[in-house]
Amino acid sequence: MLDTQRVTDRRRVFDQLLEVTVLLGRDMTGALARDGLTDSRAHLLWVLDATGPSTQRALADALEVTARTVTALVDGLEASGHVTREPHPTDRRALLVTPTAVGRSTMDRLKAGHVQAADDLLAGLPAADVAALARGLDHVLARLRDLTS
Amino acid sequence: MLDTQRVTDRRRVFDQLLEVTVLLGRDMTGALARDGLTDSRAHLLWVLDATGPSTQRALADALEVTARTVTALVDGLEASGHVTREPHPTDRRALLVTPTAVGRSTMDRLKAGHVQAADDLLAGLPAADVAALARGLDHVLARLRDLTS
DNA sequence: TATTGTTATACTCTATAACTATA
DNA sequence: TATAGTTATAGAGTATAACAATA
């Protein structure tokens, strides 16, 4: 195989990855919007669901944003009824952001949506091809983690 | 192969795609920031590079945003010296957004960066695996285009 | 002194609506 | 009457800096 062909193939995969990024992002954002959530607020809720009630400081670290940004996101999620601010049991400076029943059921729906989306995207692709795709993506992700670390 | 295994594999690929979306987006945004561009402004410049001098109306349609948004983006790109607003030769209502020499050389650098990134991400992956990855991504993209259309 | 979260302020992207100049 | 682009206004996400309460 000619070297120029190899370069072309790589470029093709890169363009495919960029398009996946755009379309998958659009699809996810649309799904969240139907639940009245923006990307950033859903991300916070997602972290909260994984870790349990957390201080805003811990959320800022997990989301890699400033404390100011978390204040704004929690303000929004509190207004929409997804979370509450509870007093911290031992540190009177801190607040524990806690999902409400609405917040928990929203997260359950989002997680079910992920399983559904996984099924939709890969429906009709033979198991061997799914496995090959997973291996290729593993390689790309390893390189990507190197580049962005 | 058990059906539960198949579901697990699909879910794994979906999670990989989500991580690619996050990391690739972060990497791209970082590269653009080094050129003093935001994602949205780079997108406009990208379209402009592909189509040549365009009216703001045409750009709004291509970017799928409102005319007001294009006004703001062009304001920014004009201030940073990447584009100019030129009179339209026949329609005195319209303006032709036109890349400057700086804008063109910035685009050349971005395009070279894409080729470099494609090489970096797929370095060390055998040609047959690159081809398999491309086929898998083709399948996913076809499904994704269906879902988001 | 250091840390948690807030207020103050600012910038970017985005949208809708009203308006001007032109077609 | 319709279209191109701007001004006016608003909301979301993000940041830095100054500040209050608490550790």
Within chain A, where are the H helices?
3-34, 39-51, 56-63, 67-79, 101-122, 127-148
d(CA A70, CA A73): 5
Question: Is the pTM for the entire model greater than 0.85?
Answer: yes
Nearest residue (Cα to C1') for C22?
A: B93
pLDDT per residue over B11-58, tens digit each? 999 999 999 999 999 999 999 999 999 999 999 999 999 999 999 999
Name beta bridge partners: A86.
A96
3-class secondary-structure state, position A7 = helix
d(CA A86, CA A96): 5
Q: Which nucleotides of D are covered by protein (CB under 7 A)?
A: 3-9, 12-17, 21-23
B25 vs A27: CB contact, 8 Å cut-off?
Answer: no
Average pLDDT, chain A: 95
Region A75-95 average pLDDT:
98
| Shortest Cα distance, chain B CAs vs residue A136, angstroms | 5
d(CA A101, CA A125): 38
Q: What is the residue whose two structure tokens read 């400076």?
A: A93
Average pLDDT, chain B: 95
pLDDT per residue over B93-145, tens digit each? 999 999 999 999 999 999 999 999 999 999 999 999 999 999 999 999 999 99
Q: Are A70 and A63 in contact (CB under 8 A)?
A: yes
d(CA B28, CA B23): 9
Higher pLDDT, B7 or A106: A106
The pLDDT of residue A55 is 98
B13 vs A137: CB contact, 8 Å cut-off?
Answer: yes
Which percentage of chain A shows pLDDT scores above 90?
92
The pLDDT of residue A103 is 97
